[in-house]
Amino acid sequence: MRTRRKWTAVLYYGALIALTLFIPIAIIAGARARGVDIQYGWFAGILAFLILLSYLIFPSILGRRDE
């Protein structure tokens, strides 16, 4: 049971890390493909990255994780 919980946590955090990297890249690529000014895509991508990164970091800083 303990190893199952550990693997669930590993998969959960792995998915969060993958999404943290994928979503900003997708926003930047989508803005570039549509012909929108690239600085808007970069701004949105960086903002999304910071929001998702804070979701990963703040629970560790506060000393609790909601698993």
| Residue-averaged pLDDT of the chain | 80
**Domain of residue 31, residue span:** 2-62
Q: How confident is the model at residue 27 (pLDDT cuts 50, 70, 90)?
A: confident
Tally of domains within the chain = 1
Question: Is residue 67 assigned to a domain?
Answer: no
pLDDT tens digit string along 32-57? 888 877 788 888 888 888 888 887 77
Other C-beta atoms closer than 10 Å to the C-beta of 11 total 10
Q: Rounded CA gap, 16 and 12, in Å?
A: 6
Q: Is the full-model pTM beyond 0.75?
A: no
Instruction: Output the pLDDT for position 66.
Output: 54
Greater pLDDT, 64 or 33: 33
